[in-house]
Structure 1
Amino acid sequence: MAKSKAEREREASLDRQFEYWARTDKAHKAQVRPHVPLTAAELAWLNWYQNMTHNFDRGRET
């Protein structure tokens, strides 16, 4: 079934958004390129983020 023009545009927009997130995501950057220095705020966010996802993955409320 052919997709409408609006659906194709929406998918392309989502693809661009995901590419932007992949380029800018600090957790991704810290894991893939650990030599990239992070600021104190970025480290605090990364610690919080990993804590939250760990708790979420374990099925506990945060």
Structure 2
Amino acid sequence: MLPSGRRRGLAFLVPDDWTPEQALAVFELLDDLLAVITDAYGDQLTDILRKRRSQEQTATPANYDDPP
């Protein structure tokens, strides 16, 4: 499962023959993309993620027989 929770979709395969420099270039690209998106939508994303996590916790039934 991907960090997003998705189980289907695009297969993210990293070729076995990438050099460390190629892997670093992709990593830096994704890191820059994350920074740009966070700058533009950071507060809104935080709110959405907070609501989503709250809904997940509410949807998970508590088992009161198990100690905390």
Common topology (TM > 0.5): no
Which protein has the larger Cα radius of gyration, Structure 1 or Structure 2? 2
TM-score range, shorter chain: 0.3 to 0.5
Q: TM-score, normalised by structure 2?
A: 0.36
Give 1 or 2: higher helix fraction: 1
Higher relative contact order (CA 8 A, sep 6+): 1
Q: TM-score, normalised by structure 1?
A: 0.39
